[in-house]
Structure 1
Amino acid sequence: MNRGRSRLWDIATTALVILSGVFILLPILWVFLTAFKSEIDVYDLSLLFKPTVKNFREIFSNPQFKLGQALGSSLIVAFSTIAIAIPVSTLGAYGFARFRMIGGRLAFFSVLATQFVPAVVIIIPFFLLARDLGMLDRHVTLIVINLAIVTPFAIWMIMGFIEGIPLDTEESAMVDGAGRWRVIRDIVIPMAAPGIITAAIFSFILSWNEFLFALMISQQDLRTWPITLALFSDEQGVRWEYLSAAGVIAMAPMFVLALLIQKHFVKGMTMGAVR
């Protein structure tokens, strides 16, 4: 009886996982197929159509969109964000995990609590501050805002991995003459690498897809990729074939990044789930 229930549960779980996968992947498949369709084939649900790369050529050759500059802007903002956020978050996570101080936990939860503030609430203060400092229409403004968004999350994620490192390992290294910085460099960072890489991926995704604060950029040459995608919708309608082609390009860095560090990412997610 129990064996039958267990088998039924396994079948139901497998079916649910498959349905969830289909539910998640179908929109991505639709975007991918539409990117290679002509305008007259967009609303045809048939899988039999003549693929074309015309959409990709046209969106890059059209001076109205300036997709090349938008792609460069998004890459600059995203990579600059993780280049600053991950080292800072790693050191911050190590400090919260290893040093016991009065109000330390309160400080940590105060930093983490910033994640619960809706972005729409703080966009006006950020805009006014950037205007008063003369930092509107600059990439550095988006980088600073992205740092404020991703750093608390990265600290929280990396801190969990550092807390899983045995303290005896660090103490043994210090007894042998290693200083604090060497311990962090040679012991903590390698052992917490899956968590650091996972935090870097999520930070990159959040920065790459950031839309609301990027609206503060009014200069077309500095617009990021998500803002440029909105240009494919106007009073005449939506050019789905163009929007899908741009969407495929937007997903490309994520796929490349996932393939390059898949092993560390899966390990990081698994260890985080177990914890």
Structure 2
Amino acid sequence: MKKRQTTRIRNQTLLIIGLAVFTLINLIPLIWAALTSVKNPADAFTVPPTVLFQPTFEYHRQVWFDRDFARYLLNSLIVSAGTVLVSVPIGSLAAYGLSRMPQRRASPILFGLFTIRMFPHMLLAIPFFVMGSFLKMIDTYPLLILALVAINQPFTIWLMYSFFLDIPRDLDEAAAIDGCNLWQTFRIVILPLARPGLTVAALFSLLLSYNEFLFALVLTGIRTKTLPVAIASFGGEDVSDWSISAAGAIGIMLPIVLVMIFVQRHLVRGLTIGAVKG
């Protein structure tokens, strides 16, 4: 018994050390970008790197006040929120319907959605650009939102499908016996149970749309340019622009970090739901 407990403690210690090393490796680029954003170019690109330096927030000031960062951030938030508000409800309805279909009928549809998600974005960006030009919708929020919904919808459906499968069908039958129609069953009985899954689907849909670069580059213009496209234009051949790009990278990360902190409890619950049965 004592030997087993010692082995368990050793395994847990090794796991913690491994996770700590993995986390540190993943944080190195972020730490490097944060340091670059508060360094002067002369300090940022010295070899070996300068450890002691006089920090400056001039590049953060330039990003936020001289480069219209707030306007690009607002554009990204509008597009991301619009994508979530359209994608999650439609994806949830589709996933619920598929989860209540026989497996042999649902599998071809799910496979088709998975195939669509595998298409290269460039293959889909050109038709969206042609369609947007024909409808005179280039550089508008609705076009970019609809495009992002189209490419991210398969992911949302697949994600919600797994959550709805974990909800027993007996609840549907019990609701029907109580007089609920299909819509009432979905809204009153199923959705509250799938709330952790909705949180996860909304968060991932937000991340995918917030970080989208190619579609935003092709379908936006001066009015609706989003942060990823704007930050790509900050850099240049001038070394001093690299500190501005680093400051922009830190700025674009802050809203997502705040969202993750706010929904962390719901996210962990949603990711672990169904992991423990009993």
Identify whether the pair has TM-score above 0.5, normalized to the shorter chain.
yes
- Tell me whether 1:15 sits opposite 2:17 in the alignment: yes
2:227 maps to which residue?
225
Deviation sequence 1:74-106 (CA, Å, 0-9, x none): 111100000110111111110100134984321
Q: Of the candidates 30, 48, 54, which is equivalent to residue 50 of structure 1? A: 54
Residue 170 (structure 1) shift = 2.3
Question: Percent identity at matched positions?
Answer: 31
After TM superposition, give the deviation of residue 274 of structure 1 in Å: 6.4
Cα distance change on mapping 1:133 and 1:221 into 2, 3 Å: closer
SS of equivalent residue, structure 2 residue 136: coil
Instruction: Find 2:255's aligned residue among 245, 253, 257.
Output: 253
The AA in structure 1 aligned to 2:273 is: M
CA distance in 2 between counterparts of 1:20 and 1:211 reads 27
Change in Cα spacing, 1:4 to 1:101, as seen in structure 2 (3 Å) is closer
Q: Could you say which residue in structure 2 is the equivalent of 1:235?
A: 237
RMSD of the TM alignment (CA)? 2.4
Tell me, in whole angstroms, the C-alpha distance in 1 between the residues paired with 2:169 and 2:105. Answer: 22
CA contact (8 A) 2:199 2:267 kept: yes
Q: In the TM superposition, what is the alpha-carbon distance from 1:197 to its structure 2 partner? A: 0.7
Whole-Å separation in 1 of the counterparts to 2:24 and 2:114:
34
Please tell me whether the aligned partners of residues 130 and 141 of structure 1 are also in contact (alpha carbons under 8 angstroms): yes
After superposition, give the CA deviation of every residue in 1:30-50 in whole Å (9 maximum; x if it has no partner). Answer: 222322233333235344333
Whole-angstrom CA distance in 1 between matches of 2:195 and 2:233: 39
| Structure 2 alignment gaps of length 5 or more | none
Q: Match of 1:172?
A: 174
Question: Could you tell me how far apart the structure 2 residues matched to 1:272 and 1:51 are?
Answer: 47
Aligned to 1:132: 134
* Aligned partner letter, 2:42: I
Q: 1:157 and 2:159 equivalent?
A: yes
Q: AA paired with 2:65? A: S
Pick one of 89, 92, 97 that aligns with 2:91.
89
* 1:216 counterpart residue number: 218
Higher mean alpha-carbon deviation, 53-62 vs 39-48, is at 39-48
Work out whether residues 44 and 50 of structure 2, in 8 Å CA contact, stay in contact via their aligned partners in 1: no
CA distance in 2 between counterparts of 1:193 and 1:238 reads 47
Q: Which amino acid aligns with 1:53?
A: F
Report the TM-score when normalising by structure 1. Answer: 0.89
Cα offset, 1:6, TM superposition: 6.5
Q: Report if aligned partners of 1:69, 1:221 keep a CA contact under 8 Å in 2.
A: no
Work out the CA distance in 2 between the residues paired with 1:221 and 1:40.
35
Q: Given the alignment, which residue of 58, 64, 75 partners 1:60?
A: 64
Q: Distance in 2 between matches of 1:212 and 1:117?
A: 14
Q: 1:179 to 1:47 in 2, by over 3 A?
A: farther
What is the CA-CA distance between 1:116 and the residue it aligns to? 1.0
Residue-by-residue CA offset, 1:173-211 (whole Å, 9 max, x unaligned)? 221122222221222111111111111111101100100
Please state if 1:76 is matched with 2:95.
no
The answer on whether the counterparts of 1:70 and 1:225 sit within 8 Å (CA) in structure 2 is yes
Rate the CA distance shift 1:273–1:32 in 2: closer, same or farther, 3 A. Answer: farther
Q: How many residues align?
A: 273
Q: Structure 1: any 5+ residue segments left out of the alignment?
A: none
Residues 128 and 191 from structure 1, CA distance in 2 versus in 1: closer, same or farther, beyond 3 angstroms? same
Q: In the aligned structure 1, how far is the partner of 2:45 from the partner of 2:274?
A: 42
Hey, what's the Cα distance between the residues in 2 that align with 1:272 and 1:200? Answer: 19
How has the CA–CA distance of structure 1 residues 66 and 217 changed in structure 2, closer, same or farther, with 3 Å as cutoff? farther
One-letter amino acid of the structure 2 residue matched with residue 243 of structure 1: S
CA contact (8 A) 1:137 1:216 kept: no
Measure, in 2, the Cα distance between the counterparts of 1:168 and 1:272. Answer: 17
